[in-house]
Structure 1
Amino acid sequence: VGLMLLHYGRIAIAFWHPNFLLPRVIPSIPPPFNWVSVQQMFSWQALPWQLGVLGGVIFVLIVNPQFWLMAIAFLLSLFFGLVLSSHWDRILQYFSPTAFNTVEPLFGHDLSFYIFSFPLWQLLDFWLGSLFLFGLIAVTLIYLLSGNSISEGKFIGFSRSQLRHLSGLGSVVAATTALHYWLHRYELLYLTNGIIYGAGYTDIKIQLPVDISLSILAGVIAFFLLWKLIYSSKQLRLPWRGLALYLALIIIGDFALPMAVQRLVVQPNELARERPYLQRSIAFTRAAFDLNNIEVQTFDPQGELTQADLQANNLTIRNIRLWDTRPLLETNRQLQQIRLYYKFLDADIDRYTLKNDAGKQDQQVIIAARELDYNAVPQEAKTWINKHLVYTHGYGFTLSPVNTIAAGGLPDYFVKDIGTSTRAEDNRALKTSSENIRASIPIGIPRIYYGELTDTYVMTSTNVKEFDYPSGNDNAYNTYDGRGGVTINSWWHRAVFAQALQDWQMVFTNNFNPKTQL
């Protein structure tokens, strides 16, 4: 029971700490509770904490098993409700499939089966397997700890009614195990531990027959327990030997045998063994990206460049790019990054019409944004307030022509640095090479709230001043006054966004005010 709590606790924590680097359109299906999940739990660094949880669960179950098992059942019910409610769209997809008209070669299913139907079966496997396994463990513990067996130091055995109850629960657990191994066949197509993505030689020749055998054997055990429950008039006995044999077959079939075949049969002649599956993987990858329909043509340009052509395209010639973005970014990181928590992630080619003494001229330039990289903030400063209320934005950019070089081989910056002025009306926060450049480039107020490095959410217009930019040995601060956020001016808004972002501190912070925006 303690191991189950740790396993499902990890999943619950993951639900409340999502990865904002990727859009979580459809949450991934949680892994079932099995031997692999137990191994992963004890590979954590926080092993003493886990042992403390296990010890606490053992203690409370000995003291008052019925109450605490009911409490644990209540928590697991909430957890399963949370998980299942987040997968409502999988039910809609199951009942509204669209055929792909492409059949995968291993099982002969249309690809739509794996997109629309299989995820729901995985969800049912996770739910039913966890539900019935906890029920069997909980009932067994209640029967074992009943009758003062701990205080008296002996257990007189299960009664006939208890054995019938346990046989019924064991039958449904065996049935869900059969379902699990039957579905696990399809999961072989999603494997990533081989040289290809999907099923390889060992998976198809060894793991697939093992999964089928374990599924059939679990189904036989389920039928046997159910038959004994309904028709047997003799004293029931729990099939300990059969259970031990089945567990031994799992260890051999799921771990020992595939590992031995992979090392002794496949690895000595891997290319020959895996060639058919490599060809299959390449073919389906090409089909998925529609690479088979690419039309290849030979490009053989013909023509002669003349002096008249050069004169007619003088503006193009003068804008031929000499700078590559990669050395420019390296230079920016040395000269213009200014602080460790700033970063120039990317540079882009753009074109502006610049004013000069002769009028106006189109100029091709390289522009790079100075974004805030919160991961580079010192560890001791990584607090919730700093992450979401203080370090909210980057500041400024560099702009340089693509075709000229300054002294020392450096970029000939049109816009650079971070100035000292905080007045929005004179736009002096960034330095420009001339007044003509300042009049031509729309610098504005260059605070970067939405950037390529933006991977978290921030709250602005709070009671905490936002860090704006460094100004000498001090820092300039600012309060956001734009219209780009969503107002969270009530407790109800806080609660809704706290649930959506899975951040409970939004509910309890005292730093929000009626103007706060997300």
Structure 2
Amino acid sequence: MFGQPIIMRSWKTYSLLLIGLVLAVGLGLTLLGLALRNFLIEFWWFESLGYAFYFWQRLLYRYLVFAGGVGLFFALFFANFWIGSKYLGAPRPSETASEANRNHPSPRLYRRFQTRSLVFYLPLTLTLAVIVALPLFFYWEEALLFLLAPEAGIQDPVFGHDIRFYLFSLPFFRLLYTEVMLALGVVLLGLGLLYGLEHRVMPRARGGWRRGARLHLSLILLLLILMGSVYFLGDAYMLLYTDAHLPLFYGPGYEEMTVTLPLIGGAALLGLIAGALLLMVLNTGKGKRLFAGTSLLLLAVIGLRHTPYLKERVGEFVVEPAEMTRETPFIEHNIQATLAAYGLQAVETRTYPIHEEGWEKITPEISLSLRNIPIWDDDKLLPVYRELQEIQPYYAFDRVSVGRYEVEETYRQVFLAARHIDLEKLGEARQTWVNLWLRYTHGYGVVMTPAAQPADEPIEWLIQGIPPESVAGLSVDQPAIYYGPTDLHPVMAPNATHELDYAASGETKLADYAGSGGVPVSSLFRRLVFSLYFGERNILYTTQMTDASRLLFRRDIRERIKTLTPDLMLGPEPYLALANGRLYWIQDAMTASKWYPYAKAYDGDVQHFERPFNYIRNSIKVVVDAYNGSVDYYLADPSDPIAAAQARLYPGLFKPLDAMPPALKQHLRYPKSLFDVQMDLYTRYHQTDPETFYNQEDAWERPPDQWREDLERMRSHYLTLNLIDPDRFEYSLFAPMTPLGQPNMRALAVAGNDGESYGRIIVYRFPKGALVYGPEQVNAFIKQDPEISQELSLWSEKGLHVMHGRLIVVPVEGVVTYIQGIFLRTASASPLPQLAQIIVSQGPLVVMASSLEEGFRALHKLIKETREQEPVQKVPPRDEPPEVTQAPQGAAAS
């Protein structure tokens, strides 16, 4: 009877203790998760990708650099302030201790301040050091690249430094200079206040500042004077980035090298002299007039440097009368630097022999060349893919990639696109937590069509449908797409609900994710952290988790790459590749800088680039597995100093390009964005002779695109031709060039993509005197053709919207042919573009047919008829400048 209440009280006590313990543990875990959620999520995510060591590298590097900066500035502040505090109240050399006590108003107060100065100066100097060193916390990588960057092997023509100095050292020195100047200024101000306060409160018989105080302040002032001379040195280096001579050339010219640079040197010398005289005046009181005169002379020199008067007079009376002679070496510096900065110094030039009479017949080589002409383009093909191949309402095609594949033992250029999941198409009622996080987790399959399509036949599909059906050799063994270039919702897979794999033909197939992507969420603590990170309590409460469940997030491949390597500049868009039955995304990553000396900054179409630059390389190829989400970096250009420096900083991050699987490597392509940048620069900088460059005698331009509203100039396009090597067909980039202000075509630039030809740029010049019609002229011929105009008008009258495809330049067997698709679109709710006709043109001879073969037969018939009649009146070529002699490069194409 007496024991039962005691037992009950014990159970109540234990229960309360147990509940309290559980609550305390839960509260502790919640607080820990809140405090460390971002750090833990980042670490788990990096670890899941195999980059745990790289994660710790980036974290420790940042804090090591910051700690080094804090330590440096802390030592500077503490040493000076501690010495200053110890010196306060110290007796003069001529004073005895009793005299010092009599002169000191409150010796106990000063002794107490001296003995306890650490209490005040230690936190003060540490705070100041943290504030001054803070930029190093954000620019830590620049500091380490400055230490690890290799030599580039190229010297600037003015100061003789290796390019490494400008890409890595100069930007870091500018940052460090600002911090050191700020630190020295704080030290001088602090010491001045200390010694000034002491001088004011302690009466002195002689009335002057202590000698030690004057020496201490003079030392800091001397350091500031020396840093001032360093400023002038940096000002001299910045001359290499002047744009004062644009649009003629970029970089310093005669005035800068003969007027501005000597003025900068004179200002640096006068600054040192004026500083020395200032120290003499402050310590001895002598030399005031000399100091004043030197200071006035320094101000005059600085004024001449920063005012245009002297430069303009030199330009007017010295440069303008003989501008070509004066500016020749500087123009040459700009040309060579720009070609090197944009990777154009190894461009080959060849002469393309024109067969003016046209083809006599379509040979097998010509037929093979025409097999891969991309009549469709991605803008026209994307609506077709969406209309015919999305199949289910929650699938979507976001973009169309272009590539090349061996199809039934034939090398063919193709278009392909991935079918990704689009949860917004589910409708609001179906966008439940289960559907978003557990059920609709991935896209499914890929579609592929040949680049060349006839207008009189249905579209040929190489891969289509759900599940994907393909021709031999193009099987898709893993069609599930969990990662892509779109904003994809985080998902948890596998799970007890099971995922929708695909639904087609009345069949719904479920699946369980078996890949290595995502972060494991098997423990309760991880689920708690993820719940706090995403603000989704159901992650913690759901009962659909399994021991194998993983949380897949950051599924946008560009976000994944930028999170891993934020300093790489990504190309406009990744492209899809099918290799060994698996789907991969390939992203071109650029290394870029705005610090290449004498190189012109790119000022063209910069909408696809993240920052300005005057140096760029496509040094890194990034491969992302569409199923696993793995991210692999491959070093494509080991000669790039920026990529080489990053490889030294992060050993193992970049794999050699030879380590890429061969089946995947064959799908690499030279990026259009980079090639367009290069060709925009090359239109002027192919003129390597300074006199020709000065007069712009052979300047080119990109021809206007007549059929597209969003582009002012024609962009490059991919073609599969045997133009680089006559013995084999290669996947290549093409860009036509016309003379500046003239419509006829002057040159055709080609960039290789296959094997050893990758990155090889060849510019075919057309012979002087041979008229090669440019895209603008061919567009005029097409519009003026009465039969074509009548046919297009009839379609328009029937309510059909006529769309012109990309105008493609096809040089084959000495004949330059233009090919363009004509597409029709109705005004219905589903405006599906349809290829109606194909235009084939050789100069003013234009035909329209339902297929390329029919078009060329009709064109040959027209050519034969015109030979029997009076020759077609051709537009005479405009006067052209004489041929510029180039260094012999490559062999002429046959």
After TM superposition, the score normalised by the length of structure 1 is 0.50
After TM superposition, the score normalised by the length of structure 2 is 0.32
Larger Rg: 2
